[in-house]
Amino acid sequence: MPDDVPASHRPRASLLEVAVLFLRLGFTAFGGPAAHIAIMESEVVRRRRWLSSERFLDLLGAANLIPGPSSTELAIFIGYEEAGWLGLVLGGFCFILPAAATVTVLAWAYVRFGKIPEIAGVLYSIKPVVIAVVVQALSGLAPKAIKKSLWLGAIGVIACAAAALQVDPIVVLVGGGLASVLLGRLEKAGGQASALWFAGFTGATATMVAPVSLPTLFLFFFKTGALVFGSGYVLLAFLRADLVDRLHWLTEAQLLDAIAIGQVTPGPVFTTATFIGYVVAGGWGAALATLGIFLPGFLLVAVTRPLIVRVRRSPLAGAFLDGVNVAALALMTVVTVKLAYSALVDVPTVLLALVSATAIIRFRVNTTWVVAGAAVVGAAVRAFR
């Protein structure tokens, strides 16, 4: 089905289809937000054709503009788009549950045995596959994102440079949107002015030592989920300031272990909160930390999703979203380059990336099978060495 088929004529997914897809992705989507977004694009745009590329980009742009984990919020947006309110809940819940359960088991082993279980072999082979998956998504999404204007391509290049210079992601996104509006108005030389605003939240707190309590734990992670933009690295800085320096609930080493677990397990990176919750307060701590950090995403998607259609009907707001979409793809590109630098470390990993790219792009093999095959190869290489 071509991309230009009207949304009303596209197949809509059932609740069961939404649940099964995101439950599977929750078990197999390694590689962090960029990889998750690429896999979702492959599944819902290319394979199932639930969404057009343009609609997928709009949802991605909206997910990038609200606080919280962008790939999880994209799953929630897609669930809402396809199956209404129950789809909103199921899309997010099924994507989060497998990762949260996996991280809880790893946290139990960490507390019980004092170290993270060995997973180096699996990581060694999965990272090259992630590169191939993201390249596939970028090759499909980028031409559609910039086709409306040459200015959008220029914005994408500048956004890539800004991201490479470690400019804050939200600044890159909002800057891309504002640049698109400004250049669009200059190009058309007319139109009605519009005000666009963005609010950021900061808080200064004194150093203190506070006892761990379940309500405090929940409220801390709810605040985190409602205010933090960007990747797991942004989350690291946020958690360090509060949990290590201010509240003294964790040591520096424990925080780094928690971030590592969130990065290397499938599903949302923000399940770092699940690990921390278990370490400081056991099973209930894990459950409440997970609920706290992800709940704002569900609420924000529910509030913002109805606005996307109105945004697209407004030329000014639509231009802003076009710029945000291009900037989001630029951020994905820079993350992919950085990941490639650390993932393609020898001949076997380069070969894995090439074979994976061929299987996914040329032969359209399901990414789940490619990831599973790579994990087996990695374990075998590790054992042989």
Instruction: Please state the domain count of the chain.
Output: 1
Does pLDDT of 262 surpass 80? no
Q: What residue has token string 């979203």?
A: 321
Residue 236's pLDDT is what?
A: 61
Does pLDDT of 266 surpass 60? yes
Residue 101's pLDDT is what?
A: 94
Measured distance CA(357)–CA(223) in Å, rounded: 39
| 305 within some domain | yes
Question: Quick one: pLDDT band at residue 201, thresholds 50, 70, 90?
Answer: very low
Question: Quick one: pLDDT band at residue 190, thresholds 50, 70, 90?
Answer: very low
More confident residue, 231 or 91: 91
More confident residue, 211 or 263: 211
Start-to-end CA distance of the chain, whole Å, equals 47
Q: Are 104 and 112 in contact (CB under 8 A)?
A: no
Does pLDDT of 348 surpass 80? yes
Q: Are 176 and 324 in contact (CB under 8 A)?
A: yes
Measured distance CA(217)–CA(287) in Å, rounded: 10
Beta carbons within 10 angstroms of residue 226's beta carbon: 18
| 330 within some domain | yes
Question: Quick one: pLDDT band at residue 205, thresholds 50, 70, 90?
Answer: very low
Measured distance CA(254)–CA(320) in Å, rounded: 41
Average pLDDT over residues 156-167: 86
Question: Quick one: pLDDT band at residue 3, thresholds 50, 70, 90?
Answer: very low
| 221 within some domain | no
Does pLDDT of 76 surpass 80? yes
Beta carbons within 10 angstroms of residue 342's beta carbon: 8
Collect all residues with Cβ–Cβ distance below 8 Å to 312 and sequence separation of at least 6: 58, 318, 321
Measured distance CA(328)–CA(145) in Å, rounded: 10
Does pLDDT of 62 surpass 80? yes
| 323 within some domain | yes
Average pLDDT over residues 16-25: 93
Residue 247's pLDDT is what?
A: 83
Closest CA to 262 of 69, 103, 41, 57: 103
Q: What percent of the chain has pLDDT over 90?
A: 24
Does pLDDT of 265 surpass 90? no
Residue 230's pLDDT is what?
A: 52
Question: Quick one: pLDDT band at residue 197, thresholds 50, 70, 90?
Answer: very low
| 175 within some domain | yes
Residue 203's pLDDT is what?
A: 38
More confident residue, 254 or 196: 254
Measured distance CA(97)–CA(309) in Å, rounded: 30
More confident residue, 146 or 31: 146
| 23 within some domain | yes
Measured distance CA(385)–CA(27) in Å, rounded: 27
Average pLDDT over residues 56-61: 88
Does pLDDT of 206 surpass 60? no
Collect all residues with Cβ–Cβ distance below 8 Å to 314 and sequence separation of at least 6: 194
* 48-62, 103-117, 221-235, 346-360: least confidently modelled range: 221-235
| Predicted structure pTM score | 0.68
Residue 6's pLDDT is what?
A: 44
Q: Which amino acid is at 347?
A: V
Does pLDDT of 140 surpass 80? no
Q: Measure Cα distances from 289 to 218, 231, 286 in Å.
A: 5, 18, 5
Average pLDDT over residues 9-35: 82
Which residues span the domain enclosing 77?
A: 7-117+150-189+294-334
Nearest 10 degrees: Cα torsion 276, 225, 295, 103: -30
Does pLDDT of 286 surpass 80? yes
Does pLDDT of 136 surpass 90? no
Residue 202's pLDDT is what?
A: 34
| 211 within some domain | no
| 157 within some domain | yes
Q: Are 291 and 218 in contact (CB under 8 A)?
A: yes
Residue 380's pLDDT is what?
A: 78
Both tokens assigned to 191:
């139109």
Does pLDDT of 18 surpass 70? yes
Measured distance CA(131)–CA(138) in Å, rounded: 11
More confident residue, 127 or 110: 110
Measured distance CA(370)–CA(128) in Å, rounded: 11
